[in-house]
Amino acid sequence: MKVAVMGAGSIGGYFGGMLARDGHDVTLIARGDHLDAIRSDGLRMQTEAGDFVVSCSATDDPAGVGPVELALLTTKTYHNADAVPSMAPMVGPDTAVLCLQNGIDSYQPLLDAFPDATVLPGAAYIEASRTGPGAVRQSGHVVRIVTGPVRGADPSHGQRAAEICAAFQAAGVPAEASDDIAVTLWTKFLFIATMAGTTSLAREYINDLLPRPEWRKIILGCMEEIERAGRASGVELAPDIVADTINYIEAGGAAMRSSMHADLTAGRPMELETLNGAVVRAGVSAGVPTPINDVIYAALKPYAAGNPV
């Protein structure tokens, strides 16, 4: 299968590298010293299953790749205004575009840009980082992709999702095709938007916040707002989703903070619009009040473009 990865950083590099290792024709879209290192020395991967080097194509010019069978979008969502149009030369009528970004509506620009392609929203569960130019590290024992067609899509999109999941599985990446990807996206979103918003607002880890009654109330309220917005949007979330999410956080034990918290403290751009901003928009659309997320969004918006704190 011919594959392109738009955004070959930590997550994109890992998934693209695993497909390349299994024999797929993978091109990584990268830039700078990361691109130079991949071209000269291959993609160096450190994983829980072992360390290895993958040889694959890499470029900073998507126009030179041509149409592919599978295009992964793994950039940060605030790059979409540039990333999505630049994917156009790689997307043909037979291309499946898999969006593995955070959020509940991050795939929407792909639907708008490529109405004839098979656009598949997805959720990636992985802890990964770039450890240097041309080097990616995957940590922990949770690696998983869930994807599926948008509601109302042609039935063939579901078959494409199943085929793509089979390719990932053969490459050693657990993957699952879902009949209702909206439930998957909102379930992950409830966790990450709450953790991102509260830890960024407090500048602390969520495990340190939960034992404090005043912060526990805010964290629970944030989750409950997202749950209500999801249900009002027609998403059939699990009955105990809030309690289950709290239990998951507390069972983890280790300090947990979001990438948005890390970006905030480093003065980098944040995915605020994708996370708590999306809660606010969903609430307005569904007629559900979201006062806690309104405050989080308003307090963090001045830093969304990357102002140091």
Torsional sign, CA 258, 261, 266, 270: positive
Q: What structural domains and CATH numbers belong to the chain?
A: 2-178 (3.40.50.720), 182-303 (1.10.1040.10)
Query: Residues 84-107: what's their mean pLDDT?
Result: 97
What does the DSSP 8-state code read for residue 124? E
Give residue 258's pLDDT. Answer: 84
Give residue 253's pLDDT. Answer: 61
- Computed on alpha carbons and rounded to an integer, the radius of gyration of the chain in Å comes to 19
pLDDT of residue 255 exceeding 70, the answer is no
Task: Categorize the per-residue pLDDT at 265 as very low, low, confident or very high, splitting at 50, 70 and 90.
Answer: very high
This prediction has a pTM of 0.94
Structure tokens at 54: 């993958």
Tens digit of each residue's pLDDT (9 = 90 or more) over 154-212: 999 999 999 999 999 999 999 999 999 999 999 999 999 999 999 999 999 999 999 99
What does the DSSP 8-state code read for residue 149? P
Structure tokens at 184: 């998957």
Give residue 213's pLDDT. Answer: 97
Give residue 123's pLDDT. Answer: 97
Tens digit of each residue's pLDDT (9 = 90 or more) over 111-144: 999 999 999 999 999 999 999 999 999 998 889 9
Please count the other Cβ atoms lying within 10 Å of the Cβ belonging to residue 92: 15
Give residue 307's pLDDT. Answer: 77
Task: Out of 152-156, 261-265, 304-308, pick the least confident.
Answer: 304-308
Give residue 309's pLDDT. Answer: 58
Distance CA 218, CA 223 (A): 9
